[in-house]
Structure 1
Amino acid sequence: MAEAGISGWIGRLLRGLGRRLGDHAVAAAEADAATAQDRLREAIDLLPEGVVFLDAEGRYILWNKRYAEIYHRSADLFRPGAPFSETLKIGVARGDYPEAIGREEEWLAERMHRLMNPSGERHEQRISDGRWLMIEERRTLDGGVIGLRVDITAMKQQAEALEEALHRAEAASRAKTEFLADMSHELRTPLNGVLGLGQALAATELSDSQRVLLTDMVGSAQDLDGLVNGLLDYGDRARAADAAPGGGVTPSDVPALRVLAADDNPTNRKVVELMLGAAGAQVISVENGQQAVDAWRAGAFDVVLMDLRMPVMDGLDAIRAIRKAEGAGLPRAPIIVISANTSETDVEASAAAGADRHIGKPLRAEQLFEAISGVLD
């Protein structure tokens, strides 16, 4: 470790004192100074952080063992009075500072500017062996610089591990959400067909034994619907909000309406056609979002019913396309999303795309009539 800087200063001080004191006093002062210097050196060497002292011109005065250990590839260059900039240049030429590669001169200028204008602000530095250092530099009373170096490699690794774990957790959460959405769609789509067709069949003439069988079938489908809702624990609040009839809404509220219904499942299309057809509405059914946009452009519809998950173009994109076309002067179409996906996120996505309502499957006739009445009002 360098001692010449401090020793020289102490020597000058003692020579000045020697002119006023006798040799005995000077010898005693030198002994005390040597003891103090040894204690200072020992104290600095015991610090867990790397410490370096530079003079006002940026030259080495003193450094501790930890500083030399941290910069072990350059430790042979440390000597009192040597410019810090020269050590830094050699380190850059050796590739000791990865961030300087490809922009060596610019990096050196930035580093020396920060060094000679110390603000005490901490910054990080990566060195070639993969370690990370936290650097803090402050101005001393005599115009020099004291620099601290702390090895934060372990902290960086922990932070990276935590970030990676967070990304994995987010990915798992997205996968869970997608799985639940898929499960919801795959389970509720056939349930929608069973319950919808059951309702339509109940409106026809049946024998007593047939009606008993139908009641059992619909009851079993409703029980299954309840189990699915409990299993998925998914969007019940959104579904419940639209499930309640709107103050005695009946099929008489929707006669003579021209309705466009988009759903890729033929049974679901049949359910809507039966429900609305029995009430006197004219239903035009299509299989995907692109067909829905094309049909809407070609004909005047009072209401658009839109499934979300469809091939070619999904429901959200179809809604956006319709709303964009309306901005060009076409009349606004009331749009109701009918989907097995009824989470809060799904409802918000529908609203953001431009839907007026979002109701869930399995679809009930009174639920559909209430939604249509609501958007028309």
Structure 2
Amino acid sequence: MDKFKIVTPCHFGVESVLKREITDLGYDIVQVEDGRVTFEGDALAVCRANVFLRTAERVMIQVGRVKATTYDQLFEAVKALDWQKFIPVDGKFWVKKAGTVKSKLFSPSDIQRIVKKAIVEKLKMEYHESWFAEDGAEYPIRVFFYKDEAIIALDTSGESLHKRGYRKNTSKAPISETLAAALIMLTPWNKDRILVDPFCGCGTFPIEAAMIAANIAPGMNREFTAENWTNFIDKKLWYKAVNEAYDIMNEDVDTDIQGYDIDPEMVEFARKNAQLAGVDHLIHFQARPVSKLSHSKKYGFIITNPPYGERLEEKKALVPLYTEIGKRYKALDSWSAFIITSYEDAEKDMGIKATKNRKIYNGMIKTYFYQFMGPKPPKKGKVNEK
């Protein structure tokens, strides 16, 4: 079976998590760049990556990596690629998106036009056709230029992988499913530890945590564009990937995951979303303000996305809010807290210095993932020495 270079974009700052996911699937990493991890795999790897990866935004097959500082160079370089290996004579193909950073070719629309024209010319030569109906399966193409070098890739996913299919009810500023999963996986939390999100909104953090605990593959209940690429990805491989996902799922896992929000409507949204994700039995949702945050057990985790106060009038409410978060966290014996926010005075208002923080881009917003590490629980069966 042919091997491909498979490109998986992700949020800036979580590349290490995606790299670990790909390695755990059994594939060799080719390259790690800002916001992107490339690995080598066959057609089954394309299917498994789409079904299993929690932190990738999409899965793409690299057709080529070319250098170009003029549109003529771009045209010739794209035309030289082996498009006939991927796009059949009836395939519908277009450049869905072109991005360019620090490159001489800076017009996305011109890049899209030139790349499409070059592919048409190549396929004319290969198929001995002068015109293409493009009435078959869809083959969307993405182009990423950085410092005059472009990755030309076929998008196998279609809709972004953050669209798991369960989030029908959303809050004003929800965190994406892929970013929520990545942030959880950046912490030491596991299914045997308590997890509380006191600002759960539509439930993304608790739901993603429950899916991780139950080993539910995020893409097992959605469709992908490349399912129709039967010219080089056998339909049976998609069934194989999904069957693998069903085999390893454990919906009866014992776990303690809780989501609170001050808004009862948000709590109801979260419950409905959890039902759609098939994990509502693993999560306890409750309408509760952060001032009522407490827990009798030790060594738990807070993982949350509190309000950022992006508008000026909202910022006034942040000082008492983050002061309260700090107060409630300090009252929790031996807990750890992980908070993503763009609010730069979070540590000051909480009255606690973070163990460390990591810069993360939540969409276009620069945020910080503050990590307040509590003590590790004693190992089971360990007896204290006198």
Sort the TM-score into its range (normalised by shorter chain): under 0.3
User: What's the TM-score once normalised by structure 2's chain length?
Assistant: 0.26
> Structure 1 length as normaliser, TM-score?
0.26
Larger Rg belongs to: 1
Bigger share in helix:
1
